[in-house]
Structure formats: C-alpha cells, structure tokens
Structure 1
Amino acid sequence: MKRKILFIFITIICLILPTFSHAETTDPALKIAFIRDGFVWVKINNKEEKITKVKGVYSEQPQWSFDGSYLMYQKEIPTGPTTSYPTRSEIWVYNMKTKKEQKIIYDGENPKWSPTKNIIAFLDSGVLNVSDFNNFYNIALGVDDYSWIPNGKGFIASSAASLNPDGWTNPVLYKITLPNDLKQITSTTNNVKQFFVVPKTLTKGNTSIPSINASNFQFSPNQKWISFIVNPTASWSMDSDMLCIISSDGKVFEVQDEIILHLDNPKWAQTKNILGYIAGGGRLVFGYKNKKMKVTEMPAFTSTNLTPPHFAELAFTWVDDSAIVVSRVKESEWSNDEKKRPKPSLNVINLSTHKQTKITNPPTGKGDYYPIYSKSSHKITWFRKGELDVIGNVWIANVNGSNTKLLLKNVSSYSIYER
C-alpha cells in the first residue's frame, strides 16, 4: 500500500514539474534592481521587495554602487505649465543595509557612480558636481558629457560646440583630476586640462557630419583607448553619428564608423581591446536594414562584420572575449503597421569559429530585446515585449538558449549588480 501511494506521489510530481519551466524564478547569485508600477524594487535571493514608498516616474534604470551597498535612481518631478522644462530630475540613493533612502539633489542629470568609491557625479546646467551624500562639490563648468576614469581619480569630459556668427566652434575633450579629499577642491579650472580638439567635420566613406557633441566615453580594458560618439545637430543625429576612437594620450584619433543613436551603445570586450558596435546610418523608419554587428581590434583598427546578409541588429552584449549575443531581425522595409514589422530574436556569435546560432523563439507579436550577459550567473537576460511596449517581462537563459525561464514580470527597466 505504501509503495502504491509513493508511486502515485512521484507520478504527480513528474506531471507538475514541467510546468515550472516558465515560472518566475532567478538565480541566487543575481542581485537585481528594477522599476515596476512606478516604484523601485529589488530582487535578492529570489525575494522581491519594493523599496520606494511613493509612486513616481523613473525614466532611467537604477544604478548599483561599485560594492552593491547602495542603489541610485532618478525621479522625474513635474515643474508646472509655466516653466521652460516640464520636469526636473531628483537624484536619490538607497542604503541597502539601513533600508533608508536619501535625496541627493533636487535637480540633476546624467548621474554616475564612481567605479571605486560610494560617491556620485552628476550634471546640473552644465556644471559637473560630485556628491558624497552629505555635501556636493563643483568640479568643472561647461560640461556637456563625461565619464569617470576607471581608477576613480577623475573624469574625461566634453564641451559642446557653440554657434557663433562665423559658424560652429569645435567640441573639446578634457581630462579632469580629483584630489583624494574632495574638501581640497577650491577651483573649477585648476584641475582641468584640455585633452583633444575634435575636428569641426568628421567623414567616413561618403558621409560627413558637423561635430557638435561628444558623448558616451568608454575605456578599453587596458585603458589605452577610449571610444566615444560624435553627434551632429539634434534631428540630424537621428540618422548619422560617428563612432570615434582615441588613444589615452591623445596622439591617435580615428573616425571608426557611422552609427545611429537609439540602438545600442558601443562596448569593449571584457579583457581584450576589441570594440563591438552596430554600424550603419539611417533611422529605423527608413527600414530594418544597414545595421551590422562589427568588432574592431586595437591597435590595428581592423574591423570585421559579423552580421549575415538579409539581417539587421538592434542590440548586443559581450559574453566573453570570443562570444557576442545579438538581438537580430530579418531585413525589411518599414511598415506603419506595427504587426507587420519584424520582431527580433537572440543569436549567439562565436568570434573564433564564426558559428552563429539562434537561441530564442519569441511568441507571435513579441520580440527579444536588449540582451545583457550577467557575469554573476553566467547567463543571458533580456526583455520580451511588443515593439511599442514600455513594459515587458525579463527572461533568463543559459548562453546557448537552454533552461529559459521568466525572471521578472511587468518591468520598465532593470539592472544587475555585478561583483
């Protein structure tokens, strides 16, 4: 009798277990922050927790501090119908240990954690500031964009070109150093050194653009090379921008390729000086075409196209120095009917063997967007959603596409803490 009961129990379990393959789950190694229903949440050790108490608008994904002890997020606040800007952006920090949040500044933009300390840099009307949560310090004026230097001891920053009666000036790159003690900062100019003057016009092939802004600075693994994007005027930048590479001493400068904004940013490989990016001009309303996954190895400046004919790429993530996962669609003309536009799936590319394998099959009407490789779990995460959907579900799988599971439901953005 006992054997019969045990057999029935095992049979029931076997029938139930397969239905768990699409249950909401995660890996204990993952530490995730995300936005859902106007609140900031975290998911740690398989447990979800809402950490903000008041509903708000969070336009950017949360950012983890370098050691994972703090979380930063921006909250958009309406300013009223009579102001020049419809919203202002409050910057908040949440202490993971004390479970308390703190407003850092009532109006700031483009905040970024130091890569080595729990301090934040942000912009306020062109002023670059640094905050240690208790005080903030003016670092430099006239800054258009910036990035921390990997050792956390300063920044690379840019000033935008300005329009004068005789035409546009040049964007200029600067290096800015920080003292060990922020209280020693007494000037917004003494620690600033001009690094490189971007030429007024950049040309690649048959395409030329005026240089107005320089942004999205990324350091190579050995810090000897810096990639950045040069943009023309606002509407023009929807169709054509230039990816540039400069040596850290400023002696070598190269216009690498034409790209567009609003796809995925260029990214360096994990340990090798290989830059990955999606090449090709023309906004997507001109068609899902001419968007190729390329890699460029430094210092040779040799580029390789990884996208097969009749396909286009929307986003990518490095898995390691020899593998990339892309969000890929079939090439097609633009259709005003969203249902007729192609939906992407994920493909893994082996740079050593050039083998390419499709690893996801989203259901009809859904696409797999924005892949992110997590070093903590050695897995791929991505958004599965409709093309125009702001809210989607986050899925997770092994790099080969196996063991696919639902990770987060109904979120607008997320970030994974990487140790």
Structure 2
Amino acid sequence: MAIRILLFLLFMSFSFSINAVAEAPLKAAFIRDYQLWLKEGDQETQLTKGTYVSNPQWSKDGQFIAYTTGYKNGENPNLFIYDVKKKESYLPYISIKTSNYKWSPTSNQLAYTSGGVLNVTQTKNGRPQGFENVALGVGDFEWFPNGKDFIVSSGSNLLPTGWEPVRLFKVPVDANLDTNKIKPFYTVQTNTSDLFAIDAESFKWSPDGKWDSFLLTPTASWSMDSNTLSVLSSVGDNFQVIGKMLGNGSWIKWAPTKNQLAFISGEGRFYVENKNTAVADIPTSNKPKEYTPKGYVDLDLEWLSPNEIIVARAKENKKWNEGPVPTMLTVLYLINIQTGEQMQLTFPKNNQLDNSPQVVGSTITWYRTSEKANKGDVWIKDKMNGQEQRWLKNVDVAPTFFDTN
C-alpha cells in the first residue's frame, strides 16, 4: 500500500512539473511612450526613461535585451543592452551607431553592422562588452545556425558596362578582417530582364538549417514596388527564385517543422490590392500556392502549426488612386493549407484593426489599434478555443516576446 501511495505521489509530482513548464508566463519586451518596458506574467516594469527606444531583441537565453536609442524620428540610433539579471542598461562600447544587430543563435554574442563594417561583441564579466571587427564592405548579414559563421551580402557596384552581380560570402566569426578567412559563397547573376538586383537582405534560415531565404533588392525606387524572394542551400550549391514581393522581411516566415516558406506575394507599394498569402515547398519545382480569396489582401502572417497560418486580412480597395493612402482594417483569419479551409479568428469593432499576429507556445497574440490612433493594445488567447483577453494597454508597437523555441 505504501509503495502504491509513493508511486501516486511521484506521478502527481511529475505531472505538476510538466504543467508548470507548459504554463510558463509570457515574457515580452515592449515600448510604451518611447520607453522600454518588460512584462512577465502580470508584472510590468519600466526599464528606461527620457529616451526614444526602438527594436528590442532578446538574447537566446533571455538574459539580455539589445535595443537602440536615438532621436524621435529614429535617426542617430545608439546600441544599448539591458541586463535582465542585474536590472540595468549599459553601453557595450562607448558608442555604437547601428540599426542592424542580431544575437547569436548559440551564445550571448551580438553582431552588428556600422558603416559597412560587421562587428561582434566580446565577453567581459559574463556579458557582451567591447567588440571585434569581422569584415568590411557588408550590406546585410545573418548568423549561420552553428553560431560560428555568417552569411554576408555585399552590394554590387555600377560599372560602365552595368551593375555587377550580387555576391554572398561565408565569413567566420573570428575573421578579424583577415580576407584569407572569408570565402565566396554564391554569386547571383542579375540582369535587367529576368532578375535585377543590387543587394541581398532579410536572411532567414529554414528550421533544419538546410536553406536560407532572402530578398534580392533592386535600386531604391524600384525596390519600393518589387523585390525578389529567393532561397539558397546551406552549402551554396542550389539557388532558386521563389516570387515577387515588397521589401518587408516580416512577411517571410518558415514553417515551424517543415521546409515550407510562407510569404505575402504581390508587387506595388500600396497595400490596397495584390497582396496574397503564398506557400512554397523548398526546394520547389512549382509555382507557390496562393490562399488569399479574391477581393481581399493579406498584410501580415504567422504560422500557428505545421499546417495552419494566421493572416491579417482586409478587403481590397481598388477604387483608391489618389490622396492619402487608406487604412486597411485588417482582421485575423486562420488558413489550413492542407484542407484549404479558412475561418475568421478575431472580431475587432468598427474602425479597429488587428495585425502583427505572433504565436508563443500555445498562445496566440496580436496588436489591436484603431484607424486614427498611434497606440494600441496587445490581445492574447490560448489556442484556437481560448478566451481572448487584453494583455498590454497603450503600447507603441507590437511587443517582442521571449520564446524558448
């Protein structure tokens, strides 16, 4: 009898530990009144004062938040790091002017570009401090999944004979400006009829690390209307063009477990028409399959499961052709790409719009604002059948959640 009671208690303890992990509180860095805040569970904490914060990013283990401060219009961004354990912000170096920074997928090392130079932080007393130069002439970059190398783009130059090809390089973290360590990875041959581009950006790795997606961007005015979504194998031997889209990296999402790439296709800089959710199997031999019904546009997306995608959808507005661009009153929909079934997920009131869907574990989150407001609220629900509730009030933009996945 005693043994049976002991086994029962052990089982209950094990079950409780599993539930405790599953129900870990949401944690997010967010911006309210231009200041950096932290919310964990029900507790909100203001982290900065008297500055203009943008682009908070979590380190892999959640100990650090990188962010920039600058002028109200976003100019002159200076890199700061907030140490969650020590509850303080600090400068990783005297002054780092950058708007492009990314944490390592394997460590608390931060890489960033400044003036075309790629740099990585050193480590001092257990936190990112100081920096080392890695490579010159860098356009955009991304860490390889191993945390030991970068894929780097270098913009082409205009010669009397036309634009050069777009070149990609594989750069080890410890290159330290040694060009002998930097290897050509792939050269994208471009021309003005089939594929024209002068740079590559918005690199994103597939879940198995075998493919890297990115945007090939043409000259400035042209890129406002059309960019080329492409993929390249992790060893640089298979390049494929996927489709045309705007230069919005957040509109490109890999499926959580499969090599399927979802994106919002369509050319034209205005959101009033021709913006369709599309999914491509990678590598691909067919045209991506589109899921947006006729008469609608999709303006954001997020994977909920390997077969389900959440999109922010609005009715298209082909009648508009001049004057202020109309606000597209988006609502969240769920698309099952296996069955083709679609259903409305959120129901904002008149003149409200739901966008920026994010999925954290089993929680669905979105940003709800109104047509003329410059602030909004963050709403959440647990899974599809959960009760929606407001989680954050009066925030400037959608938050950045810390996700252990």
**Do they fold alike, i.e. is TM over 0.5?**
yes
Whether 2:62 is the aligned partner of 1:65: answer no
Of 307, 312, 316 in structure 1, the residue corresponding to residue 292 of structure 2 is: 307
Whether 2:379 is the aligned partner of 1:384: answer no
- Structure 1 residue 294: Cα displacement: 0.8
Of 182, 192, 209 in structure 2, the residue corresponding to residue 192 of structure 1 is: 182
The aligned residue for residue 272 of structure 1 is: 258
Q: 1:86-139, CA deviations, whole angstroms, 9 ceiling, x for partnerless residues?
A: 932111111111111111242123011111111100001000000133220000
Whether 2:25 is the aligned partner of 1:29: answer yes
User: SS state of the match for residue 134, structure 1?
Assistant: strand
Whether 2:157 is the aligned partner of 1:165: answer no
Q: 1:399/1:357 Cα in 2 relative to 1: closer, same or farther (>3 Å)?
A: farther
| Aligned pairs for 1:6-405 within 5 A | 29-52=25-48, 54-60=49-55, 62-77=56-71, 87-105=75-93, 106=95, 107-132=97-122, 133-179=128-174, 186-201=176-191, 208=194, 210-262=196-248, 264-284=250-270, 288-302=272-286, 303-333=288-318, 334=320, 341-375=327-361, 378-387=362-371, 389-400=373-384, 402-405=386-389
- Structure 1 residue 350: Cα displacement: 1.2
Question: Root-mean-square deviation (CA), in Å?
Answer: 2.2
Give the AA of the match of 2:86.
Answer: T
User: SS state of the match for residue 236, structure 1?
Assistant: helix
Q: 1:182-209, CA deviations, whole angstroms, 9 ceiling, x for partnerless residues?
A: xxx5534232111111122276xxxx55
- Structure 1 residue 70: Cα displacement: 0.9
TM-score (structure 1 length as normaliser): 0.84
Give the AA of the match of 1:108.
Answer: T
**Structure 1: gaps spanning 5 or more residues:** 1-26, 79-84, 180-184
- How far apart, in 2, do the equivalents of 1:263 and 1:172 lie? 20
Q: Tell me if structure 2 keeps the 8 A contact 1:228–1:243.
A: yes
Give the AA of the match of 1:141.
Answer: L
Between 1:144-153 and 1:69-78, the stretch displaced more is 69-78
Identity of aligned residues (%): 36
TM-score (structure 2 length as normaliser): 0.86
Q: 1:290/1:67 Cα in 2 relative to 1: closer, same or farther (>3 Å)?
A: same
- How far apart, in 1, do the equivalents of 2:33 and 2:159 lie? 46
Q: 1:157/1:202 Cα in 2 relative to 1: closer, same or farther (>3 Å)?
A: farther
- How far apart, in 2, do the equivalents of 1:272 and 1:158 lie? 26
- How far apart, in 2, do the equivalents of 1:220 and 1:320 lie? 15
The count of residues paired between Structure 1 and Structure 2 equals 372
Q: 1:327-379, CA deviations, whole angstroms, 9 ceiling, x for partnerless residues?
A: 0011222366779654110001112222111011111111111111112xx12
The aligned residue for residue 400 of structure 2 is: 415
Q: 1:138-163, CA deviations, whole angstroms, 9 ceiling, x for partnerless residues?
A: 00000000001111111101001122
Give the AA of the match of 2:162.
Answer: G
> Greater relative contact order: 1 or 2 (C-alpha under 8 angstroms, separation 6 or more)?
1
- How far apart, in 2, do the equivalents of 1:411 and 1:319 lie? 24
- Structure 1 residue 402: Cα displacement: 4.0
Q: 1:336/1:264 Cα in 2 relative to 1: closer, same or farther (>3 Å)?
A: farther
The aligned residue for residue 21 of structure 1 is: none
User: SS state of the match for residue 270, structure 1?
Assistant: coil
Q: 1:341/1:128 Cα in 2 relative to 1: closer, same or farther (>3 Å)?
A: closer
User: SS state of the match for residue 235, structure 1?
Assistant: helix
